[in-house]
Amino acid sequence: MKRTGILQTWLIFFSIAISIALVGCDENVNDAIFDDGNSQNDYANNNNAANNGDDSNNNNDFTNNLNNNNNANNAHGDTDTGDTPIDTGDSPIDTGDAPIDTSGDDTGDPPLPDTDTLAAGQFLITLNQNYTGAPRNMIVTTDAYGTLVGDANAPLVLPSPTRSGHDFRGWFTTSAATGGDRVLSGATGTKFTESTTIYARWTTQTKRTLNDIPAYEKEVFDWVKNVRNECEVVITGSGGSGGNLIFHQLYAGGGSINWAVRWESNNTVTLQQRRQIAGMLYDGINEWIRPLMGYEDFPFGEIPVNVVGWAVQNENLVLDRQPNENIWVNSTNDGPISGYETGFICSAPRERSRFLNYNAINNTSGGHINYVWPEAIGGRNGRFDMYLWLTQDKEGGNGSAEGGDWGFRWGNHGTNGAAMQAAASHSNNGTIHGTMTHEIGHGYGFYDWYGGPCCGCTQRNPTVYGNQSQSMMHYTYNTGIPERPGVNQFDQWQIRYYYSWVRDKSPANRWEYDPIPWVPYGN
């Protein structure tokens, strides 16, 4: 396995960066996590149940969202053979609160909008916070195709409400504590056929601090910070990985993450598959976010995840294209790139990319708070933070993947390749493939937990290290330990520890954010 530093100047000279990436590691502040294509071809529908007290009845007919950015690259093949649910210490969903009245007829409530003003196919969607004493409802509309959208160029980003003593667990089509369908926005999101009320779902919050970390996990993570990060730098004070990990993207996005999809394939992709990919990405991000809920000062509950569009080389590959769906047709090598080339690389518009605009964003006075995303893309909601890059003829085959804070790239051979099989499996039973769990973990700055000496590190894992890290052990071909890529207690404490560590290292303005506003109807 290799690790490679990618320079921020790569934004202009990315072709030079590839040659650097294939040589080895350096300790530039933009150093990236990169791992070789020691891949294997065989993982199919292997999964990782990660709903942490949330029901798994997600994503059968919805989409939500994709993000892409900076530089922390990991390549390897991942096979998933036995997944563990995350954070088993969470309290059950709160069922004691009665839903609030959504009729709009209470004294002081404004009348509902006149439905006669809606276009054909357009509906009113009432957002009910679903607990006694909650603020008034917020009302949004669908477009003429029945999907939740913002303006013509950006998805609607549903707000994540807050409630004392509880964690927000997403928007659902039922007020009950379980069941119903998760609501996702965007052109490939939930399709409504009538005016509808959707409901916030909550779990009782368990408060944790870094002082609660078990001694074993603390010893391992302290070693990572004090030893491994010194010879293989990932967490830096101000450079790429220090300012563009998913933690930073989340704050810059006001509590949301956006993806774009690179379809590096000659195969067609159906609307159902695009919906399945978007739903899987939602849980792929939130699988790692859920252990942070209630931890120290982490301000977010479950976060909205959006797919802003697909980049393809031929628009005829996109079957049943929706009229409001962003499809970008080109065949370029525009960054970010991951160190492999298979010919063409389709790209989303660079003005949408947080990765490609990283310097401009952070050189703006006030950083991301004052940076103005172009109105032509729909402002901040039209950006993408990370790429999901699906490659038909990727080196290493279906098992090959690499990832980091720019997103991740996954071999997807054949019409129903690895990524599509994983998305279909998630749609059917709510599980998350271990490859996705692992590669998204690199986006938070996590190291691989396998392999021998590399990148200037004579010792890659701490002496006390055993087989505790489930997801970051993917693959374990150099350890002889069976892989179990679930987000277990070790991994839950890993992301909590990293959050505290990254906050301590990064400039203060990385942690400022404008939340997605809750605007009750009639205000």
Render pLDDT for 290-317 as a digit per residue (tens, 0 to 9).
999 999 999 999 999 999 999 998 999 9
Q: How far lies 365's CA from each of 240, 356, 419, 421, in Å?
A: 18, 18, 40, 45
- For the stretch 262-286, pLDDT in tens is 998 888 999 999 999 999 999 999 9
Cβ neighbours of residue 53 closer than 8 Å, sequence gap 6 or more: 87, 90, 91, 92, 93, 169, 203
The rounded radius of gyration (Å) of the Cα atoms in the chain is 22
Of 77-81, 381-385, 506-510, the one with minimum mean pLDDT is: 77-81
Reply yes or no on whether the pLDDT at 104 is more than 70: no
* List of residues 6+ apart from 430 with CB closer than 8 A: 49, 51, 55, 56, 57, 58, 59, 283
pLDDT at 101 over 50: no
Give me the percent of the chain exceeding a pLDDT of 90.
45
With CA atoms as reference, report the closest residue to 63 among 219, 261, 212.
Answer: 261
The predicted structure's pLDDT at residue 150: 81
pLDDT of residue 486: 64
The average confidence (pLDDT) of the chain is 76
How many C-beta atoms lie closer than 10 Å to residue 477's C-beta? 17
Q: Kindly report the pTM of this predicted structure.
A: 0.79
Residue 444: cis peptide before it, omega within 30 degrees of 0: no
Least confident of 74-88, 235-249, 363-377, 412-426: 74-88
Range of weakest confidence among 194-203, 413-422, 468-477: 468-477
- Provide the pLDDT for residue 272: 94
Check if the beta carbon of residue 129 is closer than 8 Å to that of residue 161.
Answer: yes
The rounded distance, in Å, linking the Cα atoms of 414 and 336 is 24
Give backbone dihedrals phi and psi of 509, rounded to 5 degrees, phi first: -70, -5
What distances in angstroms separate CA 485 from CA 80, 371, 431, 463, one per listed residue?
A: 6, 38, 12, 21
Tabulate helix, strand, coil % of the chain (nearest 5).
Answer: 25, 15, 55
pLDDT above 70 covers what percent of the chain?
Answer: 71
How do strand 400-404 and strand 386-391 relate by DSSP bridges? unpaired
Q: Which amino acid is at 351?
A: E
Give the C-alpha separation, 307 to 301, whole Å. 19
Asked if residue 395 has pLDDT above 50, the reply is yes
Question: 51-65, 350-364, 506-520 — which is least confidently predicted?
Answer: 51-65
Render pLDDT for 319-337 as a digit per residue (tens, 0 to 9). 999 888 999 998 887 888 7
Per-residue pLDDT at 107 exceeds 70: no
Q: What is the mean pLDDT of residues 478-506?
A: 78
